[in-house]
Amino acid sequence: MPSVAVGDKRYELSEVLASDRLDALFSDAWTGSRVWNASIFLSKQLLRLHDERQFITTALQSVIELGSGCGLIGLVARDVGAAHVVVTDQAEIVDLLSANVAQNTTATSGTGNVRAAEFTWGSPTFRSLWIDNTPFDYILVSDCINPIYGVDSWRNLARSIRDLGSSTTVRWVCYLSYEERGDNAALADFHACSRDYLTHELVLQEGKIHLYRITQKDLREISSN
């Protein structure tokens, strides 16, 4: 069981799928049972962003993580003060996610709640994930733009980022980490397919890992296009 240090806390994260989920090893779901470098990178950046008042700036703010895998990022979000956190992935990964949440959430590790849920990018059921029928304040994504998933995956991811945060009252922010692979054509297509409704700002790059700040385009700008 890997032990990952983020700030002054250490997270114990299982990467082992239940025996009845081993079929995931022969599909793209296997990537969810690993703690990837981009996940650790984003987790550490959340601490910095929180200190700079760019992440979890007030009480009662909510967070959703897409493609959570082992759940590290969502757990860190809870520990820096998020009131509600939903960690999501494919059905094959949800049991692993739930186990890691139970292992790492104690009475001394924050007061917010974390729950694991199945969610398929692009699904019209996104509203069922909202807290009290309210869009999320923050959307977190790590290393989910990967050529092995196919073009539909990151295009659906872009739509889900838009849908989960879409609001005329909540000014949401998405932080997305990405590790370069090959010619970065997947990342370029992600930007291109969502540029009509999302803004993408590169805020940090360390080696092959990028951190983007993604927000909703001004509704007036969208309607004029």
DSSP string of 194-217? HTTTEEEEEEEEETTEEEEEEEEP
Question: What total of structural domains would you count in the chain?
Answer: 1
Question: Can you give the pLDDT at residue 19?
Answer: 42
Question: Can you give the pLDDT at residue 221?
Answer: 53
Question: Can you give the pLDDT at residue 31?
Answer: 46
The average confidence (pLDDT) of the chain is 88
Let me know: does 123 contact 160? Beta carbons within 8 Å: yes
Q: Which parts of the chain have pLDDT scores under 70?
A: 1, 17-33, 107-110, 168-169, 219-225
Sign of CA dihedral 154, 129, 29, 214: positive
Question: Can you give the pLDDT at residue 108?
Answer: 53
* Neighbour-count burial of 125, counting CB atoms closer than 10 A to its CB (0-12 exposed, 13-18 middle, 19+ buried): exposed
- How many of the other CB atoms lie within 10 Å of CB of 207? 9
Nearest to 139 by CA among 78, 63, 38: 63
Nearest to 32 by CA among 41, 23, 44: 23
Question: Can you give the pLDDT at residue 32?
Answer: 46
Question: Can you give the pLDDT at residue 107?
Answer: 54
Question: Can you give the pLDDT at residue 106?
Answer: 75
Q: Domain residues for 32?
A: 3-224
CATH of the domain at 155: 3.40.50.150
Strands 113-118, 138-142: pairing is: unpaired
Going through the chain in order, the beta strands assigned E by DSSP cover 3-6, 9-12, 62-66, 84-89, 113-118, 138-142, 173-179, 198-206, 209-216
